[in-house]
Amino acid sequence: MEAIAIALSNAVDLKHREKREKRYLEIVGRYDRDIVETFPKILAEVVSALEAEPGDVLGTVYGELELHNVARGQFFTPYILCQTMAQAIIGSRESLLELIERNGFVSAMEPACGAGSLIIALAEAMRQEGVNYQQHLHVTAIDIDTRAVHMAYVQFTLMHIPAVVVVGNSLSMEMRDHWYTPAHILGGWSARLSRRDAEAAAQRLLNPPATPETAFEPADPRRADTTGTPRQLSLF
Ligand SMILES: C[S@@+](CC[C@H](N)C(=O)[O-])C[C@H]1O[C@@H](n2cnc3c(N)ncnc32)[C@H](O)[C@@H]1O
């Protein structure tokens, strides 16, 4: 998964390319040629599976092969449940469109993304509501486990979801590595997000909230609780 993630990332992410290319050569150097030749075949299988029916293809295989880390609570939610949760998070089509109207897009924060099943379900739910998630959704997804990040990155990339997938701890907020999907980079999302944040800051200066002590500390859904489990997927 890491080799596949690097191959996809290196097509677009110049900032991380050199370091990741070295790592790629290290990985492929570890295996015999016949094994390395299965990597593109695996990618082709994932592409076919996602084309046939969007879902958490890699998370399902990961669970079935019992590769998950039980100690880290790595139990992935069955996709059918993710679909129901995504519908509940979106609410009505009207509330989704209202949220999009404000900035041109909605942001989703997934603090414990696993292989990305909830985000895949969310993107699909938006598509079913007639909203092009490739234009109107931006995702920040975090997982403490590098393997989960690579799986989520590969699946988001293949679905062309604008996203940054982060290797990090959403409780302590220590972040170690950032994976920007091609949809994020090609869609100029860093600039779009900065513009949205700058506009929000300007709005707060022009219209400060009633209580002065909270004026510069708006409720930030991206800020995780520092105790207990990471917060659940949220839209803002
Ligand atoms: C129960 S799984 C849920 C994954 C996904 N949201 C789903 O519903 O299928 C929990 C995930 O949280 C990750 N995790 C656990 N503690 C974490 C932390 N402090 N910060 C970020 N991710 C964490 C695990 O590695 C695992 O992939």
Query: Tell me: the pLDDT tens digits for 64-109?
Result: 888 877 766 777 888 999 999 999 999 888 989 998 998 899 999 9
CATH number of the domain residue 165 falls in: 3.40.50
Q: What is the pLDDT of residue 230?
A: 62
Residue 197 within any structural domain of the chain = yes
> Which amino acid residue places its CA nearest to atom 9 of ligand 1?
76
CB 149 within 8 A of CB 178: no
Q: What is the pLDDT of residue 63?
A: 86
Residue 228 within any structural domain of the chain = yes
Residue 170 has pLDDT above 70, yes or no: yes
Structure tokens at 197: 């944040």
Greater model confidence, 62 or 162: 162
Whether ligand 1 lies within 6 angstroms of the CB of 148 is answered as: yes
Q: Taking residues 11-23, what's their average pLDDT? A: 98
Residue 6 within any structural domain of the chain = no
DSSP structural state of residue 231: P
Whether ligand 1 lies within 6 angstroms of the CB of 135 is answered as: no
The C-alpha atoms of residue 235 and residue 226 are separated, in whole angstroms, by 20
Rg (C-alpha) for the chain, rounded Å, is: 19
Q: Which helix (H) or strand (E) holds 19?
A: helix 14-29
Q: Specify the length of the chain in residues.
A: 236
Owning domain of residue 113: 54-235
The C-alpha atoms of residue 3 and residue 157 are separated, in whole angstroms, by 14
Number of domains in the chain: 1
Residue 16 within any structural domain of the chain = no
Residue 221 has pLDDT above 80, yes or no: no
The angle, 0 to 180 degrees and rounded to 10, between the axes of the packed helices 2-9 and 38-52 is 80
Residue 144 within any structural domain of the chain = yes
SS3 131: coil
Residue 14 within any structural domain of the chain = no
Over residues 177-199, the pLDDT tens digits come to 999 999 999 999 999 999 998 98
Q: Are strands 137-143 and 163-169 parallel, antiparallel or unpaired?
A: parallel
Q: Which residue, among 68, 144, 94, 155, has the nearest Cα to 120 in the 3D structure?
A: 155
Structure tokens at 177: 């590595």
Residue 223 has pLDDT above 80, yes or no: no
Q: What is the pLDDT of residue 101?
A: 92
Q: What is the pLDDT of residue 211?
A: 61
Residue 176 within any structural domain of the chain = yes
Q: What is the pLDDT of residue 214?
A: 41
Residue 216 has pLDDT above 50, yes or no: no
Residue 9 within any structural domain of the chain = no
Residue type, position 14, single letter: L
> Which amino acid residue places its CA nearest to atom 8 of ligand 1?
77
> Which amino acid residue places its CA nearest to atom 10 of ligand 1?
74
Residue 146 has pLDDT above 50, yes or no: yes
CB < 8 Å & 24+ apart, contacts of 189-197: 189/138, 189/162, 192/104, 192/105, 192/138, 193/107, 193/138, 196/103, 196/105
Predicted confidence band at 228 (pLDDT cuts at 50, 70, 90)? low
